[in-house]
């Protein structure tokens, strides 16, 4: 029996994108072939990842510290009269 489906490699485990009719523990032969995601797939992944942590309250203190540190930075002096 031959089944073709996509998957994602995680360490030594391949997570299949589709269900198969094969029972758990079935012996299979795997041929690995990488694919380049399309621009649309890349955009979809970016949308999934952006803000994935936004509801994670455990990071609030990190962002508070970053904001405090940012406010402590003294801006550089500029001399707009100097010729470039």
Q: Which two tokens stand for residue 40?
A: 């649309």
47 located within any domain:
no
Q: Is residue 25 part of a domain?
A: yes
Q: Is residue 20 part of a domain?
A: yes
In a domain, 73, yes or no: no
Per residue, the 3-state secondary structure of 8-72, as one string, reads: EEECCEEEECCCCCCCCCCCCCCCCCCCCCCHHHHHHHHHHHCCCCCCCHHHHHHHHHHHHHHHH
Is pTM beyond 0.85? Reply is no
Number of structural domains found in the chain: 1
Q: Are strands 7-10 and 13-16 parallel, antiparallel or unpaired?
A: antiparallel
Shortest CA distance to 4 belongs to which of 38, 30, 36? 30
In a domain, 18, yes or no: yes
At 8-53, the pLDDT tens digits run 888 988 888 888 888 888 898 888 888 888 999 999 988 888 877 7
- 60, part of any domain: no
Range of the domain at 17: 1-34
- Whether residue 78 lies inside any domain: the answer is no
């Amino acid at each position: 029996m031959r089944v073709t489906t996509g998957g994602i490699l995680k360490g030594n485990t391949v997570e299949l994108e589709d269900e198969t009719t094969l029972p758990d523990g079935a012996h299979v032969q795997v041929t690995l072939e990488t694919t380049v995601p399309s621009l649309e797939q890349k955009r979809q992944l970016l949308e999934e990842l952006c803000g994935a942590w936004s509801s994670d309250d455990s990071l609030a203190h990190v962002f508070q510290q970053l904001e405090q540190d940012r406010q402590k930075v003294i801006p550089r002096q500029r001399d707009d009269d100097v010729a470039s």
